[in-house]
A and B are shown apart, each in its own frame.
Chain A
Amino acid sequence: MKAKVSLDGRYMPSEDVVARNIEGELIIVPLVAGIGDLEDELFTLNETGKAIWDRLDGRKKLNEVLAELSAEFEAPVGEIEKDLIGLVEELSRRKILVAVK
């Protein structure tokens, strides 16, 4: 089930994962059971995913993150917004990201 994600929301990495930067690869290592579909699953993010992840600090709202990404990347805002929402939805569904209240 997809988590409902709003551009007004703030998100941060869950305490149930450990994010590691190894030789330029961002690797998300689950700490608790139930994050991956398999017992031994890890997650990596590509460059776009990393650019989004690095900005999800629990302080910035997603629309602020969107503004930053739009300033940095030469892509239509609508496309960046779709990427941002899609990734946050997926990582929230997997409990890798949590919404900050």
Chain B
Amino acid sequence: MVEQGNPYITRVSSQNASLWKTVKPTLSDLDIELTERCNNNCVHCCINLPADDAVAKKRELSTAAIKDILKEAASLGCLTVRFTGGEPLLRDDFEEIYLYARKTGLKVLLFTNATLITPSVAELLSRIPLLEEIEVTVYGMKRSSYEAITRAPGSFEAAWRGINLLLEKKVPFVAKSALLPPNREEVEDFETWASTIPWMDAAPSYSVFFDLHCRRNAKKNELIRSLRPTPEEGVAFLARRYKQRIKEMKQFCSGFIGPPGDDLFSCGAGTGGACVDAYGNLQLCMGLRHPKTVYDLHKGSLKEALNCFFPEVRAMKATQPEYLVRCARCFLKGLCEQCPAKSWAEHGTLDTPVEYLCEIAHAEARQLGLLAEKEMGWDVKDWRERIQNPSEESENEPRN
């Protein structure tokens, strides 16, 4: 948008990807996991450590170290930093870090459960806006459902107090949720409420297929697995706005589907973006914590990692025989969340097929009319034609 009468200044929405006319910066956005600790103890969470975990707290990056990372990120062209966790507001120095990021010229995206939004935090976020909408995860519309998930007494009131403070101070935020047994009956109530949030311009998103624990905690993984919906249940939930979903997925398939071959990284992880864990390890994405793929920022710079280490990681090839027979040849790659991060969380390797993800992709492909019953994606030779002309059955809403 060009200012009327002022052809020299352009107002650009910060979401505008066309900001870069020629060269994109080395780093466009950075995620920083400020802590793995959380004041909630969500049943499905892939990361949370107890809020009072003194050992974890001691290991966390210092305020000064985080500021150094932010400063270097800005020098590399970074425009957006996402603060996530755990619960990022648990850090005593959150306000100091936030102000530093904003004064460095970074936009801030904050992922929070809102329970620690105090009047002073809301006032700060109102006076010094983030320039990105906060993402608040809402676990339930009733105390019973909310706290059955968070396992933190008082968290329901705290979250709604925080949400109301954001509304009062007109701090832009959007709401999202995680679909779990205690809140399954509240989807409609949640969506009705979410539609009243002034900054929501679409239906809220949900976590449906939960990731396993990022540090491969076997006990937690047992619980997470028990909460996962079956692939068919999850796909049916995502398709409840059927026509819209089918339209989006067909558009997506036309551009992003096809066998990946033995390249491990077919996503954009580590190209223009990066993630820092709570202890200073730089990762291509937040889930990828395999020791061979992380870079210790105590021993080197962000620039060195982005220019030298990340390209080496991205050049890695899959060698696991089953992966090469199935995933490398499967045209459903664009629909499937199989990736080194998920393989790491599930199996401790980078290239082992994850059955659950494979089943989800196949269920979705069948719904889209790309596969017949019992057909497997890696056996399909005419996948290009199928993407152009999926079975007409997918045009009709599924029968329950």
Contact = CB atoms under 8 A, between A and B. Distances in A.
Contacts of A31: 102-103, 128
A27 B28 CA distance: 13
A87 B132 contact: no
Contacts of B172: 39-40
Contacts of A78: none
B8 A23 contact: no
Contacts of B74: 20
A86 to B, nearest CB: 6
Size class of the contact patch on chain A:
20 to 34
Contacts of B15: 40
A34 B102 CA distance: 15
B208 to A, nearest CB: 28
Contacts of A37: 11
Nearest to A33: B129
Interface stretch (A4-12, A41-49, A57-65, A66-74): A41-49
B14 A41 contact: yes
* Main SS at interface, chain A: mixed
Contacts of B106: 29
Q: Determine which residue in B128, B132, B133 has the highest number of CB atoms from chain A within 10 A of its CB, and name it.
A: B128
A18 B9 contact: no
Given A22-B77, A40-B14, A41-B13, A52 B8 contact: yes
B9 A43 contact: yes
B389 interface: no
B91 to A, nearest CB: 22
Contacts of B10: 43-46
Contact of A46 (B5, B8, B12, B199): B8
Interface in B1-49: 3, 5-15, 19-25
Given A27-B79, A90-B3, A32 B128 contact: yes
A45 B127 contact: no
B8 A24 contact: no
Chain B interface: which size bin? 35 or more
Contact of A41 (B11, B24, B104, B126): B11
B25 A48 contact: no
A75 interface: no
Nearest to B76: A22
Contact of A40 (B19, B77, B107): B107
Chain B contact residues: helix, strand, loop or mixed: loop
A57 B181 CA distance: 60
A25 B11 contact: no
Given A18-B104, A83-B8, A87-B8, A25 B13 contact: no
A43 B12 contact: yes
Contacts of A87: 6, 8-9
Contacts of B129: 30, 32-33, 39
B141 interface: no
B6 A44 contact: no
B12 A42 contact: yes
B11 A23 contact: no
Interface in B154-171: none
A42 B106 CA distance: 11
B239 to A, nearest CB: 31
Contact of B24 (A23, A44, A52): A23
B105 interface: yes
B51 interface: no
A90 B6 contact: yes
B46 to A, nearest CB: 29
17 contacts: A18-B105, A23-B24, A27-B79, A29-B106, A32-B128, A33-B126, A33-B127, A36-B11, A37-B11, A40-B131, A40-B132, A44-B9, A86-B6, A86-B8, A87-B8, A90-B3, A90-B5
Q: Give me the 7 closest cross-chain CB pairs, A-B, nearest first.
A: A49-B8, A18-B105, A40-B14, A20-B105, A22-B77, A29-B105, A23-B23
